[in-house]
Amino acid sequence: MSIFDQGSGMNPFPWMQEKLLSALQAAAATFDVANEPDTTPWYRDKLRSLGDALLTRLMPVTALVFGLPQEAVAPEEWSPAVREGTLGLARWCKKWDIADPRQIGFGALATLKNEDEVEEKAAVSGKAPDVHDECAEFRSLLYSHLVRRLVDSQLSDPAHRFLAWALAGLRMSDFEDVCVLSKRFLPTDIGCSREETTAAYRELYEEGIIERVDGIPNLRADSIALRVVVQGVNESKHPGEYRDEVFGFEGARVGGQLTRGNILSVRLTKPAQKALRWIRNTDDLAELAGVLQDLLGKDKVFIEKVTIDAPPHLEELVLSAHIRVPFDANEKELEVNIAVSADKWIQERFLRSGLAKTERRESV
């Protein structure tokens, strides 16, 4: 029996829970190495940055799969503990009763090194390349000038946040004055709306504090490379013109809260079932998505799209709503509301408008 066999009836959650815990242990292990006394400062910061990036994305998924409350994955809840490494993760798991802390904590014992390992690590750790020393000196100059801009009351609060995040990203950049930011997640990272983030981007650009940099190798499609600029120090002779950018994504926040995505599949009544095959893959589904969005409320859920699917283990079609909701949303209530609202709309829109009579004529 395979987890990928949709008709097997196998419950995927235990499998997902096991894999998530393994991923969390691997992420926590980066802090184990970072916290070793013979890890150089540059590699220590790099490892902690990687560990933070992994855990920031793994923790919400873990909360969802294990059914934890939202407070369990608040940054102030897990970050101090997990930054201690595997043992910190074990304490967090024990507190929220999601795994045996003795099994999780065993990974920390595996990092204890013998004398051969100490010598082997010392042979390759050594001093970081000189380019990092030169880069750090130049960055300190940028930081000293740009921090003064951060206290400039003429900059808006979103612009302050944007610049602060850019400076934080510069710390681990491979380039001395260029940082790479995620356009998709930047509004969430700096705690601003999509509109505020876009306005802050334009404000900093027009102030000459940032410049767009093209030609960065292996740059992801959802990322943007920006040079943080100090006039008279590192500004470009011919900076590129301002170009509009799209930051964030629809549904990232609902009712002012951060969201998670899910797909809710509902089975409709037999009369509505007859109409599903008629509207499958048509523009009527986009209209239905809009109807559900209005009925359920933009402050409770964001409807990305609606599809009609044919699960292999069912003989009938199901209506699937692709949604984004706050972490503490009541999905059972949403399922009921989606089923009732969609059923009513389909019957009024199609069955009562003559579709049922057409179907009977064609069957004859």
List the chain domain ranges: 13-125, 130-228, 254-363
pTM: 0.52
Q: Return the pLDDT at 224.
A: 93
pLDDT of residue 141: 82
- Asked whether the beta carbons of 196 and 244 are under 8 A apart, the reply is no
Q: Is 241 left (phi over 0), alpha (psi -120 to 50) or beta?
A: beta
pLDDT of res. 84: 78
Local confidence band at 354 (pLDDT 50, 70, 90 cut-offs)? low
- Arithmetic mean of pLDDT over the chain: 80
For residue range 16-46, list pLDDT tens digits in order. Answer: 788 888 888 888 888 888 888 777 777 777 8
Could you give the CA distance from residue 4 to residue 6 in angstroms, rounded to a whole number?
Answer: 6
Q: What share of the chain is helix, strand, coil (3-state, %, to 5)?
A: 55, 10, 35
* Structure-token match 């409320």, residue found: 297
> What is the reported pLDDT for 274?
79
Question: Above 60 in pLDDT, residue 9?
Answer: no
Task: Specify the 3-state DSSP secondary structure of 204.
Answer: helix
3-state secondary structure of 23: helix
Question: What's residue 126's pLDDT?
Answer: 33
Mean pLDDT of 121-148: 62
pLDDT tens readout for residues 244-283? 998 998 888 888 888 888 999 998 888 888 788 788 777 8
CB 321 within 8 A of CB 292: yes
pLDDT confidence of 8, banded at 50, 70, 90? low
Q: How confident is the model at residue 128 (pLDDT cuts 50, 70, 90)?
A: very low
Nearest to 260 by CA among 163, 171, 188: 188
| Fold that domain 130-228 belongs to in CATH | Arc Repressor Mutant, subunit A (1.10.10)
pLDDT above 50: residue 53: yes
Q: Region 285-310: what's the mean pLDDT? A: 91
How far is 92 from 171, CA to CA, in rounded Å?
29
What pLDDT sits at residue 228?
A: 92
- H-state helical runs in 171-283: 186-190, 194-206, 270-279
- pLDDT at position 353 is 56
d(CA 286, CA 306): 7
Distance CA 154, CA 206 (A): 13
pLDDT category of residue 322 using cuts at 50, 70 and 90: very high
Mean pLDDT, range 97-112, rounded to an integer: 57
The residue behind tokens 């051969």 is 116
Q: How far apart, in whole angstroms, are the C-alpha atoms of residue 324 and residue 319?
A: 16
pLDDT at 95 over 70: yes
Residue 39: partners with Cβ closer than 8 Å, 6 or more residues away: 33, 47, 125
